[in-house]
Amino acid sequence: MTEDTQQLGKYQILSELGRGAFATVYRALDTTLDREVALKVLHPQLLTDPTFVARFKREARTMADLTHPHIATIYEIGEVEGRLFIALQLARGPDLGQAIAQRGRIPWDEALALLKPVCEALDYAHGQGVIH
């Protein structure tokens, strides 16, 4: 990824959404299809471990087979400029942390309503042999 253009292949990086131990997730524009995606880019230092890279690709392919309304669709798995990435459906709206920061404590009945689709998605994934 070039720092001056904030481009990774056909993806124009728009903003950072989050950073974890293994990857950084960006809001990006797929310039071919003209749609926003979540672009999960593996940290470069992890590319030196072939076992980890193979596991990352295998898990991404497994996740690409999941079809559920509450699981983000994987559009592409690829490597550009020595960077391994997954392009997936972008979830819109605030995350739970942002919602709590804006509203304060969420009432129990609303929290249960928020968690129900999460549990349904996890149940579906577990039924497909995917453990999160």
pLDDT, tens only, 28-41: 999 999 999 999 99
pLDDT more than 90, % of the chain: 69
Determine the pLDDT at residue 130. Answer: 85
Count CB atoms within 10 A of the CB of residue 73.
13
Q: How far apart are CA 110 and CA 76, in angstroms?
A: 34
Confidence tier at 93 by pLDDT (50, 70, 90): confident
Confidence tier at 94 by pLDDT (50, 70, 90): confident
Q: How far apart are CA 54 and CA 131, in angstroms?
A: 17
Element (H, E) at 18: strand 11-19
Q: How far apart are CA 64 and CA 119, in angstroms?
A: 19
Q: What proportions of the chain, in percent to the nearest 5, are helix, strand and coil? A: 35, 30, 30
**Domains by residue range for the chain, with CATH:** 1-92 (3.30.200.20), 93-132 (no CATH)
Determine the pLDDT at residue 56. Answer: 86
**Mean pLDDT over each residue of the chain, to the nearest integer:** 91
Determine the pLDDT at residue 27. Answer: 97
Element (H, E) at 86: strand 83-89
Mean pLDDT, to the nearest integer, of 83-112? 91
